[in-house]
Structure 1
Amino acid sequence: MKFSLDVENNPTGWPDHTQLPESDGTFVKNFQELPQSILLTDSITPVFQNIHPDGNYCIGQDSGIYWRLTEPLERGAEAPDWFYVPNVPPTIDGQLRRSYVMWQEFVAPLIVLEFVSGNGAEERDRTPLLRSGQQETKPGKFWIYENVIRPAFYGIYEVTKASVEVYHLVDNSYHLVPVNDRHHYPIQPLGVELGIWQERYQNAELPWLRWWDSAGNLLLTGFERAEEERQRADRAQHQLEQLRAQLRSAGLEPEL
């Protein structure tokens, strides 16, 4: 795919997010992946709003991260199922990003999550990028994250195995994060934990990937918070009605 570069508005000569493809034109989602991304984003948004009162952060859901310029252009991108980048604005020149361009931003994601749809080999592929003349090996996804994009945390989630493994970038290489006594993986910079939640969401009971706070409390979605508040109000109303009934029985019902 060829592109036309507006040199006047982009004097660096490198394409920006408006000039790079936002899709490779293939279907990559199954029926679980979109709700899973929404569940992760919805429940952790209050945490991000607290960390970033200025609103300077972005979340990508199956969005491209461009790490090199290639032909065709899509070969220079990875599209994690979910990722979070701190301290960058959600828009550029009033436009939502079509992709995240490393040579334009220079800020690595803090965490990248991949949802396994096959056997997990692609997400764990450590094949390095090697060149010989005009030929080069296709680098593996794990290698690209570890050596080029370099998110501090990389998670591989397998719904079919009800499991997640989390890697932390330490001394330029990924090391498995040990599970804690709640069988969660701490993401310390955010004060949260990542783990498996075997319950019903979006009309499907599955081992969903979810967040907890550092005390082990599940981070709720907006619907769950509203439902919890409704149940709290119902309990308060029930207690009030019981009290009124007791007062009536004692002939002490207050005048309204």
Structure 2
Amino acid sequence: MTQTLSKPVETKTQYTVTWEKLPDDFKLPDAPVENIDQPLLAAALREALDWAGFILASMLIASNFGLGAKVNDKTVVKAPDWVYVPSVLPAEPGEVRRSYTRNAEGEVPAVVMEFLSDNDEAEYSIKPTYPYGKWRFYEQILQVPVYAIFEPKSGRLEVYRLISGKYELQEPDADDRYSIESMGLFLGVWEGEKSQRRGYWLRWWDENGNLLLWGAERVEQEQQRAEIQQQRADRLAAYLRSQGIDPDGV
């Protein structure tokens, strides 16, 4: 689960970074989603948080969403498969947020995730020159505290934490999960079926080890509870009748 892909030798590069909100007429990258799994995985992560009442209006949780910065006078935008920002400034009335720039629009993104595709290893790229590799951009420029890389086919999850300015691979706990302190939750891998897709998924657990359920799971859970309560009521009614007591008159 923790074996990493090989990365090129890193070089030292100086960056001058300014945090300016992208202008409204800035043309964002319009690359298509690489496969059908990526939006399903991202949506499932958000759905569980939504049903658990975790999401606040002050947060930014998005998928395939542009994070921008001006580096050495050039605007750079990367769109992680999933991003969580604990607190952002309110959007202007009627404004639809198209991208996000830390400091200029709120806090540093706390978590970014990438889901590995078959195309390349861009998620591990530390390319030090424009337009910069994803790893380099998240680590050295945005300085995101937690970077998770998930391979849907194998179920391999790697979680890196920013320590002294460098990403270090974290070890999972005894339950094979990773603590995400900024969210008060644990992230791990679950195997099963959702949205007509069977395979590995990323799931959330709370601090007590309880799985954050998706909507359909919550409905099923409530149905099971209702059935158990009905069975208990039926058993009680049968017992009362056996004692010569009319349960409807109790």
User: What's the TM-score once normalised by structure 2's chain length?
Assistant: 0.82
From 42, 47, 52, the equivalent of 1:42 is 47
Q: Tell me the SS of whatever aligns to 1:92.
A: coil
From 208, 219, 235, the equivalent of 1:226 is 219
From 165, 168, 180, the equivalent of 2:173 is 180
Gaps of 5+ in 1: 1-13, 130-136
Q: Tell me the SS of whatever aligns to 1:238.
A: helix
CA distance in 2, matches of 1:100, 1:166: 23
Moved over 6 A (4+): none
From 175, 186, 192, the equivalent of 1:193 is 186
User: What's the TM-score once normalised by structure 1's chain length?
Assistant: 0.81
- Matching residue of 2:58: 56
C-alpha displacement at 1:127, in angstroms?
A: 1.9
Q: Contact 1:40–1:210 at 8 Å: present in 2 too?
A: yes
Alignment CA distance shift 1:90-1:36 (3 Å): farther
Q: Contact 1:58–1:90 at 8 Å: present in 2 too?
A: no
Alignment of 1:31 with 2:36, yes or no, is yes
Equivalences for residues 1-256 of structure 1 within 5 A: 16=22, 18-22=24-28, 24-45=29-50, 46=52, 48-49=54-55, 52=56, 55-68=57-70, 76-89=76-89, 91-102=91-102, 104-105=104-105, 107-118=107-118, 121-129=121-129, 137-256=130-249
Gaps of 5+ in 2: 1-19
Q: Contact 1:17–1:101 at 8 Å: present in 2 too?
A: no
Per-residue CA deviation, residues 3-45 of structure 1 (Å, 9 max, x unaligned), is: xxxxxxxxxxx663633334x3332242211121111001123
- Matching residue of 2:16: none
Letter matched to residue 35 of structure 2: N
- Matching residue of 1:8: none
For this pair of structures, how many residues does the alignment match? 229
Alignment CA distance shift 1:90-1:63 (3 Å): farther
Alignment CA distance shift 1:224-1:17 (3 Å): farther
Letter matched to residue 184 of structure 2: G
Q: Tell me the SS of whatever aligns to 2:182.
A: helix
Letter matched to residue 18 of structure 1: D
C-alpha displacement at 1:70, in angstroms?
A: 9.4
C-alpha displacement at 1:47, in angstroms?
A: 5.5
CA distance in 2, matches of 1:255, 1:97: 59
Per-residue CA deviation, residues 34-65 of structure 1 (Å, 9 max, x unaligned), is: 1211110011233634xx5xx31111211111
Alignment CA distance shift 1:195-1:69 (3 Å): same
Per-residue CA deviation, residues 149-192 of structure 1 (Å, 9 max, x unaligned), is: 11110000101121110111111111112110001111122221
Q: Contact 1:90–1:96 at 8 Å: present in 2 too?
A: no
Q: Contact 2:86–2:109 at 8 Å: present in 1 too?
A: yes
Q: Contact 1:70–1:76 at 8 Å: present in 2 too?
A: no
Q: Contact 1:33–1:115 at 8 Å: present in 2 too?
A: yes
**Percent identity of the aligned residues?**
33
Q: Tell me the SS of whatever aligns to 2:128.
A: coil
